[in-house]
Amino acid sequence: MPTYHAQITHDLPQNADLVIAGGGIIGAATAFFAARAGLRAVVIEKRPLLATLTTPNATGAFRAQFDNAEEMALVREGIALYTNFAEVAELPGYDLGLAQQGYLWLATTAETVERQRTLVEQQRAWGLDDVELLSGNEARVRFRYLAPEVMQARYRAGDGWLDPRKLAMGYAIASQATCVTGTAVTGFTFSGERISGVQTTRGVISCGVAVIAAGPFSQQVARLAGLELDLSFVRRMRMIMPEVAEVPADAPMTIDEETGAHWRPALHGANLLWTAPNMPPGPPLEDVTPSDDFAFGLLDPESDHSVARISPFWRAVWERNTDNWCLRAGQYSYTPDHRPYLGPTPIPGLFVNCGYSGHGIMGSAGGSRIVVDTITGALTPADNPFRLDRPIVERALDVL
């Protein structure tokens, strides 16, 4: 792959068309779409490097199999970009580490079988016509590592995963935005009621538009402008097990729909994940500590969410106990309805791009394009289902 570099500096420009608070994948994606709209962006990141807080702790997975049409459309827009990223971003040879090996959701109860059937019908009605519904036997013929208890599966081959750091840096490079690292946002300046600049630890940069894309710290940054965002922050973990011979390298993301435990191939082994229910929220953190209990819960065959429930070869991995693992932890930023906040706020000139509730990697493209379209006026508030003042309707948590 050719060598590309983002425009990283410690020197704060005097002005910009828009300033983006946050240099993770969402901030970088905002800069990318701002550039495509002809806007000169500056990204402010308080950490020494871009994309080093939440972004690298994500599994990097993406899937179009959603339970609502709006988020499905958001992610499908992203998938279309990721599969043609080097061409669209004008970065010849740029490699995202893309693997479209599918998402396989497994049902082991009659209740989930029926729920899957209903959901697939809805997805097809929303235009997702390539989702397959497989009987347990059909699934085992295609994916021979599945347990006898699997009664049914839903599968889409076009889903998959990529390297989130490479995607974030690809956005930043292609945007040609000035990225000021080691610099924190400390406040905002106003002309009347409108944003006129962003205060930082290196001074003030003048702008007509500011975008808050600071992940778990979006709420804190918004408060500097007198805006309260309804967000909660929950620890989520990922387990990395390289060099596990039993893991089929060509397997899809394999998900126990009853428990939310899932795994996918990575590093000649696997990434393993589980979204623990009822995890208490906490404050936003710079360093999130993982727990070994997370690993034991996934690997111990006696656990109620063991991956061995759906893929029995994991029992052998547990019993031999010679495979190494490491744990990574970050935070999801949840909104009350688990859909992102995208677009203008009540403060003129201040926009938000945050609250993806665990779907930031897959939603980064569609969500950031929407935010930029609200800045330019290409999208009206009435046509933005993710606007900050939308009616909030409670939804079941989509755990992946």
Domain match, 139 and 278 both: yes
Q: What contacts 131, CB < 8 A, 6 or more positions away?
A: 65, 120, 123, 124, 154, 155, 156
Q: What is the pLDDT of residue 276?
A: 85
- How far is it between the farthest Cα atoms of the chain? 67
pLDDT in tens, 274-322: 988 888 999 999 999 999 999 999 999 999 999 999 999 999 999 999 9
For the domain that residue 379 is a member of, what is the CATH number?
Answer: 3.50.50.60
In whole angstroms, give the CA distance from residue 359 to residue 294: 21
Domain boundary among 330, 346, 366: 330
| Number of domains forming the structure of the chain | 2
Q: What contacts 148, CB < 8 A, 6 or more positions away?
A: 136, 140
Q: What is the pLDDT of residue 398?
A: 61
Domain match, 45 and 108 both: no
The amino acid that residue 196 corresponds to is S
Q: What is the pLDDT of residue 394?
A: 74
Domain match, 175 and 296 both: no
CA-atom Rg of the chain in angstroms: 21
**Which residues is 195 bridged to in the sheet?**
190
Q: What is the pLDDT of residue 2?
A: 80
Q: What is the pLDDT of residue 24?
A: 97
Q: What contacts 367, CB < 8 A, 6 or more positions away?
A: 26, 29, 74, 340, 342, 353, 356, 386
Domain match, 277 and 372 both: no
Tell me the residue range of the domain where 181 lies.
Answer: 7-89+163-231+335-383
The two counts, helices (H) then strands (E), for the chain are 10, 20
Q: Give every strand in the sheet of 132-135, ordered side by side.
A: 132-135, 152-156, 103-107, 253-256, 262-266, 269-273, 232-241, 326-334
Domain match, 128 and 269 both: yes
How far is Cα of residue 112 from the mean position of the Cα atoms in its chain?
25
Phi and psi for 273 in degrees, rounded to 5? -145, 155
Nearest to 364 by CA among 120, 99, 130, 85: 85
Q: Other CB atoms closer than 10 Å to residue 58's CB: what's the count?
A: 25
Give every residue of the chain whose pLDDT is below 70, as ranges: 1, 395-400
Domain match, 179 and 83 both: yes
Domain match, 153 and 167 both: no
* CB hemisphere CA count around 395 (13 angstroms): 17
Residue pair 31/41 in contact (Cβ under 8 Å)? The answer is yes
Instruction: Specify if 98 maps to a domain.
Output: no
In whole angstroms, give the CA distance from residue 104 to residue 223: 41
Q: What is the DSSP string of 90-142?
A: T-TT-----B---EEEEE-SHHHHHHHHHHHHHHHHTT-TT-EEEEHHHHHHH
Domain match, 292 and 352 both: no
Residue pair 369/246 in contact (Cβ under 8 Å)? The answer is no
Domain match, 249 and 312 both: yes
Q: What contacts 200, CB < 8 A, 6 or more positions away?
A: 12, 44, 180, 183, 184, 185, 186
For the domain that residue 311 is a member of, what is the CATH number?
Answer: 3.30.9.10
Domain match, 135 and 270 both: yes
Instruction: Specify if 389 maps to a domain.
Output: no
Domain match, 145 and 55 both: no
